[in-house]
Amino acid sequence: MDHFPLNWDKLGQENRGKPKNDIFADAITRTQRPIVTGTSVIALKYKDGVMLAADMLASYGSLARFTDVKRLYPVGDFTVLGASGDISDFQYTKHLLDTVMVEEYYTNDGHVLRTQNIYEYLSRVMYNRRSQFNPLWNAYIVGGYNNDEKFLGYVDLLGTTYQSSTIATGFGAYLAQPILRKAVEGKEDTLTEAEAVEILDSCLRVLYYRDARSFNKFQRAKITAEGVEITGPYKVESQWGFAEGIRGYGP
């Protein structure tokens, strides 16, 4: 995927110079480009359940536009949706999920949509939109705890899905996933809550250092048998004196 925003507008570049004679042109929906975006979301499974974390920034290109955005969204009592990518598409998705949850409530059979169901629904919506060349430009992490089962899944704008004990979207895939994999793989049932928080914090710190579209203001979601608990906003400590003694860039 081309991460350079100015290269996304392929159609605009193709259409430059062509006269706009087609009156139906505006009615056709097209693959867009993300405008207001959120960066990485990271998640892991631990002893008591699942944890997700994300910063609270919505960028407008290179501008840090909104710093109070809640990218971790609870759906029902035992599921959390973490979103990265276009924020307007995320808001639409939130609305969609709310609608679905309410409609299920109408059936009045006592059944509430579980994490697995929400994940399945979302992945079908995403793949469907991709097949119409009008994607919801997001990468989602769905995390939850149902019937003593920990769930953690990923869905993105292409409809790609996978489940794993550690997941990271965006830059997190390059910077946080190596740390998460090393720390969690094999220990999903023994990691304590404190250890899980420490692992997530060290990942968030690395992301704050090396992702140019990140922000030092985070939220963390914990899903256990007790339900969903979202803490934040909080900061991580960072060290910037690593090159104090260094002058210049060469001889």
Partner 1 sequence: MTTRLEQPKGGFNFDNYQRNVFLEQKGITLPKMTKTGTTIVGLIYKDGVCLGADTRATAGPIVADKNCEKIHYLAPNIHCCGAGTAADTEYTTALISSQLELHRLTTGRKSRVATALIMLKQMLFRYQGHIGAALVLGGYDINGPCLYTIHPHGSTDKLPYVTMGSGSLAAMSVFESRWRKDLERQEAIDLVKDAIESGIFNDLGSGSNVDVTVIEKDKVDVYRNYAKPNERGQKEQSYKFNRGTTAILKESIKDLVIITEGIEEMDIS
Q: H helices then E strands: how many in the chain?
A: 6, 13
> Which residues are CB-neighbours of 109 under 8 A, at least 6 positions away?
none
**Using rule CB under 8 A, residue 212 touches partner 1:** no
Query: Which residues inside 220-249 make contact with partner 1, applying CB under 8 A?
Result: 242-243, 246, 248-249
| C-alpha Rg value of the chain to the nearest Å | 20
> Which residues are CB-neighbours of 185 under 8 A, at least 6 positions away?
165, 166
Q: Which one-letter amino acid corresponds to residue 26?
A: D
Binding partner 1 by CB under 8 A: which of 47, 181, 187, 217? 181
181 vs 187, beta carbon nearer partner 1: 181
Where would I find the beta strands (DSSP E) of the chain? Answer: 36-38, 41-45, 50-55, 58-60, 63-66, 72-75, 79-86, 138-146, 149-156, 161-163, 166-168, 218-224, 227-234
Binding partner 1 by CB under 8 A: which of 70, 202, 230, 232? 202
31 is catalytic: yes
Binding partner 1 by CB under 8 A: which of 10, 30, 111, 210? 210
- Helical pair 177-184 and 193-210, crossing angle rounded to 10 deg: 160
Smallest separation (angstroms) from partner 1 to the CB of 225: 31
Cα–Cα distance measured from residue 190 to residue 228, given in angstroms and rounded to the nearest whole number: 20
**Using rule CB under 8 A, residue 174 touches partner 1:** yes
Q: How many chain residues touch partner 1 (CB under 8 A)?
A: 22
**Using rule CB under 8 A, residue 3 touches partner 1:** no
Please identify, among the stretches 53-61, 75-83, 206-214, 219-227, the one whose residues bind partner 1 according to the rule CB under 8 A: 206-214
Binding site for partner 1 (CB under 8 A): 171, 174-179, 181-182, 202-203, 205-206, 209-210, 242-243, 246, 248-251
What residues are labeled active site?
A: 31
